[in-house]
Amino acid sequence: MTSIVERAQSLATESFIAASGPGGQNVNKVATAVQLRVNIYQLGLPPAIFHRLKALAGSRLNAAGEIVIDARNHRTQEANRREARDRLTDMIEAALREPKKRAKSRVNRVGKTKRLQAKKARGQVKANRGKVDW
């Protein structure tokens, strides 16, 4: 599990861009926002994990197969870099967790008869809405 996260961290490329938000005049002078890119095809994930990661990435996944994470909430490059890497780690760890199988619910005999009676009653109400023949 951690090997996949470590591989993603090592394959990630970072670029720093001018950010909006906190920082005052410093925002205009220093590129503090981080754009983290990871190609999911290079990670070599098993198919099930790959598809879960694609679903989790959503609009952050571009046509080239890269997950692009923008972090611009902090005033410093280092804090934004840490946040971007943490978000990538969280996303991969969520994809590694296999969802629980849904257990089928079973309705007992009494429940089935009640449901059928309710359907009959509802059908009768709808049937009575038709034209009245005097």
**Any idea where the domains of the chain sit in the sequence?**
2-96
Please name which of 85, 3, 73, 74 lies closest in space to residue 36, comparing C-alpha atoms: 85
Cβ neighbours, 10 Å, residue 78: 11
Phi, psi of 14 (to 5 degrees): -115, 140
Rounded to two decimals, the pTM is: 0.69
Instruction: Convert the pLDDT of each residue in 59-104 to its tens digit.
Output: 999 999 999 999 988 888 899 999 999 999 999 999 999 989 989 8
For the stretch 13-41, pLDDT in tens is 888 887 776 666 666 677 888 999 999 99
Q: What is the CATH number of domain 2-96?
A: 3.30.160.20
H or E element, residue 8: helix 2-11
For residues 87 and 9, the answer to whether their CB atoms sit within 8 Å is no
Q: For the CA atoms of the chain, what is the radius of gyration?
A: 27
